[in-house]
């Protein structure tokens, strides 16, 4: 499998653009930073007053990186115009260096969701739309046909996190989607809406959440939507990472870790095998094989940890992974060598 790296110029430009978008987000701090502790984790909020009422806005988990940025919020505000000009320049550099940009429909949707707070409040972009963004995270070139959309744009979040945050999107995703000409698609049985179909094309937007047994529809209060619960999804969206979608001057989103995405694709490919999503199953295996070949060279420890983590989740997980690897002998050899 041939792997071509982006130039050093492109890789540096992407990392700079990602850093500047994170700085831009931190510069939007209005009041003071408040800490809230839940289940051994620390969550940070922007606490401010509007008239006589105190408000709070979720900022993110209390990582050292976020704390450092928030400590510089005042300075970051003063450099906003210069930063935005630099972001536009870096986006032009990435296009010139061969980065594949997000298409207009997907880009406008991601931008609207980002402005509404979907990613800030725990939403994670998954599926092929997320896979496309690994060109920046991993610094490798993707063929345009590898990034051909299935027509689906999927978002996922943990139900428990959505309930616990105590914050909500600034604009309902359903309202955004309808303004972008998407129609709600009610469920066949309970008529709950967790997906929308574009009325002038084939695109489908779906909201997902991890299941731990029954795959029912559950609420995601922070995002203002319902979501289809799916088993194995908890593995995919644990510890997501920031990324920039190349639309306009870039859109800051959240995507799964690439090693988890790759192993999860092995599981999903087996779930889809032999059903109506057979074509998607082949694409799942192709994406898994490509990412694993890169990660085995560049991030072998991360890949090994994710693989062993999935295998430790139980016999059903192992069966699905092994079934997909039987169809990918080169990928199977790579993972065996890492685990040996």
| Domain match, 171 and 301 both | no
The pLDDT, as a whole number, for residue 274 is 62
Residue in the block written with tokens 């922007």: 46
Domain residue limits at 72: 8-256
183 occurs within a structural domain: yes
Among the candidates 256, 285, 317, a domain finishes at: 256
Query: Does residue 82 sit within a domain?
Result: yes
- pTM to 2 decimal places: 0.93
Residue 159: inside a domain: yes
Does residue 2 form part of some domain? Answer: no
For 95-125, the DSSP string reads HHTTPPPPPHHHHHHHHHHHHHTTTTTT-EE
The pLDDT score that the predictor gives to residue 200 is 77
Residue whose entry in the numeric block shows the structure tokens 């990582």: 63
Contacts of 339 (CB under 8 A, 6+ apart): 304, 307, 308
64 and 204, same structural domain?
Answer: yes
| pLDDT < 70 stretches in the chain | 1, 144-151, 187-191, 274-278
- pLDDT number for residue 147: 63
Tell me whether residue 3 is in a domain: no
For residue 150, the model assigns a pLDDT of 56
Encoding tokens for residue 171? Answer: 């604009």
Do 212 and 86 belong to one domain?
Answer: yes
The confidence score (pLDDT) of residue 163 equals 82
- Spell out the residues 6+ positions from residue 143 whose beta carbon is closer than 8 angstroms to its own: none
192 located within any domain: yes
- Residue 1, domain member (yes or no): no
- Are 163 and 192 within one domain? yes
195 beta partners: 206
pLDDT for the residue numbered 146: 62
Q: What is the pLDDT of residue 148?
A: 57
Instruction: Write out the DSSP string of 21-64.
Output: HHHHHHTT--SEEEEEEETTEEEEEEEEEETTEEEEEEEEE--H
Residues 213 and 310 in one domain: no
Residues forming beta bridges with residue 241, ordered by sequence position: 255
pLDDT at residue 282 in the model: 86
pLDDT (tens digit, 9 = 90+) per residue, 211-235?
A: 988 889 999 999 999 999 999 999 9
> Within this chain, do residues 294 and 332 fall inside the same structural domain, yes or no?
yes
DSSP of 195-217:
EEEETTSS-EEEEEEE-SSS--E
**What CA–CA distance (Å, rounded) separates 70 from 63?**
11
Strands (E), the chain: 32-38, 41-50, 53-61, 124-126, 152-156, 182-186, 193-198, 204-210, 217-220, 225-230, 241-245, 251-255
Query: Last residue of a domain, which of 236, 256, 276?
Result: 256
Q: What is the pLDDT of residues 255-305, one digit of tens each?
A: 999 999 999 999 999 887 766 666 788 889 999 999 999 999 999 999 999
| 241 in Cβ contact with 254 (< 8 Å) | yes
Residue 195 counted as domain residue: yes
Report residue 175 CA to chain centroid gap: 21
Q: How far apart are CA 248 and CA 129, in angstroms?
A: 16
- Number of domains the chain contains: 2
Residue 160 to residue 156: CA distance in whole angstroms: 12
Say what the pLDDT of residue 1 is.
61
| pLDDT confidence of residue 271 | 84
Spell out the residues 6+ positions from residue 97 whose beta carbon is closer than 8 angstroms to its own: 6, 7, 9, 10, 13
**Pair (283, 246) in one structural domain:** no
Instruction: Give the end of a domain, one of 256, 273, 288.
Output: 256
pLDDT score at 162: 81
Same domain, 163 and 77: yes
Same domain (yes/no): 98, 213: yes
Residues 292 and 220 in one domain: no
144 with 37, same domain: the answer is yes
Distance CA 120, CA 324 (A): 34
Tokens found for residue 61 = 């988990």
243 plus 308 within the same structural domain: no
């Amino acid at each position: 499998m041939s792997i071509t790296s982006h130039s050093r110029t492109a890789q540096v430009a992407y990392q700079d653009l990602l850093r500047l978008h994170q700085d831009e987000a931190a510069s939007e701090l209005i009041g003071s930073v408040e800490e809230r502790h839940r289940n051994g984790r620390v969550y940070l909020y922007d606490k401010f007053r509007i008239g006589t009422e105190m408000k709070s806005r979720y900022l993110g988990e209390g990582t050292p990186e976020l704390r450092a940025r928030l400590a510089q919020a005042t300075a970051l505000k003063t450099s906003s115009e210069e930063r935005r000009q630099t972001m536009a320049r870096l986006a032009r550099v990435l296009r010139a260096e061969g980065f594949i940009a997000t298409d207009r429909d997907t880009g406008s949707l991601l931008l609207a969701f980002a402005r509404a707070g979907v990613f800030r409040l725990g939403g994670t972009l998954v599926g092929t739309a997320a896979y496309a963004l690994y060109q920046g995270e991993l610094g490798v070139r993707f063929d345009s046909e590898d990034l051909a959309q299935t027509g689906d744009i999927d978002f996922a979040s943990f139900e428990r996190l959505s309930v616990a945050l105590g914050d909500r999107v600034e604009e309902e995703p359903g309202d955004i989607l309808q303004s972008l000409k998407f129609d709600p698609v009610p469920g066949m049985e309970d008529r709950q809406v967790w997906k929308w179909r574009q009325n002038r094309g084939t695109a489908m937007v779906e909201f997902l959440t991890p299941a731990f047994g029954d795959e029912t529809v559950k609420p995601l209060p922070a995002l203002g939507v319902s979501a289809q619960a799916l088993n194995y999804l908890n593995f995919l969206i644990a510890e997501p990472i920031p990324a920039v979608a190349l639309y306009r001057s870039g859109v800051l989103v959240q995507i799964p870790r690439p090693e988890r995405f790759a192993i999860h694709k092995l599981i999903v490919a087996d779930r889809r095998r032999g059903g109506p999503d057979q074509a998607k199953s082949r694409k799942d295996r192709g994406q898994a094989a490509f990412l694993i070949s890169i990660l085995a060279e560049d991030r072998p420890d991360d890949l090994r940890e994710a693989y062993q983590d999935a295998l430790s989740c139980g016999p059903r997980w192992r069966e699905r992974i092994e079934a997909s690897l039987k169809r990918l002998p080169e990928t199977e050899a790579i993972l065996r060598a890492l685990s040996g």
